[in-house]
């Protein structure tokens, strides 16, 4: 029942934005944070920017098309916090364990996400209305 080892950290907090370029200066110029990288994730139809804060990141997400889940999120709720990502080892075992313990999964198998990570989302109906992403970087660090 459950894992004894805790997730390693909050890998990032995902924030849905309409315009990535226009959103970044608040973090970099005004808050003094560092833009680490920008990337397009074809499979998710999003463009993302990772902004470093300590051990964690802010992940800004802009939809690339209407097929993107971020597009529907913006339509329904407007800009704002979209998900919280937890850095884990053993993502496969964790997904199995969570499922066995009655947590609904959006992705039963990990898929390729931004920053070469293996990612999977848990269903917010099972987690107090919060969309959680599990994410595992092969280098063990995450950017």
Residues in contact with Zn ion by the rule CB under 5 A: 14, 59, 85, 133
Nearer to Zn ion among residue 18 and residue 100 (C-beta): 18
Cβ 13 to Zn ion shortest distance, Å: 8
Let me know: does 46 contact 64? Beta carbons within 8 Å.
yes
- Of 91 and 100, nearer to Zn ion (C-beta) is 91
Q: How far is the CB of 12 from Zn ion (least distance, A)?
A: 6
Pick between residue 4 and residue 80 the one whose CB is nearest to Zn ion: 80
- Distance (Å, rounded) from C-alpha 117 to C-alpha 104? 21
Pairing of the two strands 80-87 and 46-53: unpaired
């Amino acid at each position: 029942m459950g894992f004894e080892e805790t997730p390693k950290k909050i890998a990032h907090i995902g924030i849905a934005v309409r315009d990535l370029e226009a959103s970044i200066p608040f973090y970099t110029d005004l808050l003094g944070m560092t833009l680490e990288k920008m990337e397009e994730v074809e499979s998710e139809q999003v463009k993302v920017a990772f902004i470093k804060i300590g051990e964690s990141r802010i992940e800004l997400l802009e939809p690339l098309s209407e097929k993107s889940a971020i597009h529907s999120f913006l339509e329904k709720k407007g800009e704002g916090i979209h998900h919280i990502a937890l850095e884990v080892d053993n993502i496969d075992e964790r997904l199995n364990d969570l499922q066995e313990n009655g947590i609904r999964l959006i992705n039963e198998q990990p898929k390729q996400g931004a920053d070469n990570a293996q990612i999977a989302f848990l269903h917010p109906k099972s987690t107090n209305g919060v969309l959680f992403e599990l994410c595992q970087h092969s280098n063990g660090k995450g950017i």
